[in-house]
Amino acid sequence: MTPETAAHAAPPPRALPGSGEARRHALVVLVMDRPGVLNRVASLMRARNFNIDSLAVSRTDREHVSRMTITLHGDDVAVEQAAKQLYKLIDVLKVQDVTADQVVEHELALIKVRATDANRAEVIKIVELYKGRIVDIAPESVIVEATGTESEIDALVALTRSYGIKELVRTGAIVMLRGAGSIEEALKL
């Protein structure tokens, strides 16, 4: 008896890869520090239809190796596919999805908030409660510097919004594994 002629019910539809529930992922990408490598990574994510939420790039302590932290939303299979596509770039040395790992995650924000003589003291007090720092004071404004996780900074931004945000800049998250484990040390160079 063949399945085609079998009397049993039609099988369930085959699952489509990447159609699961989306969540926030953080990818650590170690790359060769060569001209255009940022362009390659960004272009690949665009071409493969992935939307980057944040991207932070810097040198590492290893010669010729740079480190990117990419945050993006997607279902686990889709993000795995993004990681595998990144791996295909010749200049990419390592890609690790640290979403499920214990990590320290921080980003830095500068927020220029309206502050007059009437409410400056209030603004400063609230900012300091949130472990923000005032790094510049002018007659009409203050600049708040804050570090923390994405959600901590979101909360501070929401709070200062009522005073009026003149300008906001965020670096995007950088992450590092907790404990002795090292993404870089596993590199074979």
Partner 1 sequence: MTVTRGDPPAGGTTADARPERGRRSHVPGEGSATAVAVEQARRAMLHDVRQRKRTRIGADVLMEALIRQGVDTMFSYPGGVILPIYDILGDYPEVRHILVRHEQGGAHAADGYARASGKVGVCMGTSGPGATNLVTGIGTAMLDSVPMVALTGNVASPLLGKDAFQEIDITGITLPMTKHNYLVRHADDIPRVVAEAFYIASHGRPGPVHVDFTKDALQQETRAQHPSEEEVMAGLPGFRPTIEGHPKQIKTAAREVAEAKRPLILAGHGILVANAEEALRAFAEKTQIPVAWSLLGIGAMDEDHPLAYGYMGMHGWKHVNRAIQSADLLIAIGMRFDDRVTGSVSTYAPYARIIHADIDPAEIGKNVAVEVPIVGDAKRVLEALTHAVHPVTREARAGYLDQLAAWREESEATSWHGSGRWREGVLTADLVVERIGELTSHVGTYVADVGQNQMWTARYTKFKRPNSHISSGGLGTMGYGVPAAMGAALGNPDAETWAIVGDGGFQMTSQELMTLVADRIPVKIAILDNKKLGMIRQWQEIVYAGNFHSSHLPGPDFCKLAEAYGMPGWKVSRPEDVDGAIRAAQATDGPALIWFETEEEQNVLPMMPAGKGLSDLIETWGGPEE
Among 23, 24, 43, 116, binds partner 1 (CB under 8 A): 43
- Report the alpha-carbon distance of residue 174 to residue 55 in Å, rounded: 9
Residue among 93 and 127 whose Cβ is closer to partner 1? 93
User: In the stretch 92-131, what mask flags binding to partner 1 with x, by CB under 8 A?
Assistant: xx--------------------------------------
- Of 22, 33, 54, 81, the one binding partner 1 by CB under 8 A: 81
| Integer CA distances (angstroms), 161 to 11, 72, 153, in order | 53, 25, 12
Question: Is residue 89 a contact residue for partner 1 (CB under 8 A)?
Answer: yes
Sign, CA dihedral 106-112-114-118, equals positive
The maximal CA–CA distance of the chain, rounded, in angstroms, is 87
Q: Does 36 bind partner 1 (CB under 8 A)?
A: yes
Residue 13 burial by Cβ neighbours in a 10 Å radius (0-12, 13-18, 19+):
exposed
- Chain residues that interact with partner 1, rule: CB under 8 A: 2-4, 10-11, 13-17, 31-32, 35-36, 39-40, 43-44, 47, 77, 80-81, 84-85, 87-93, 187-189
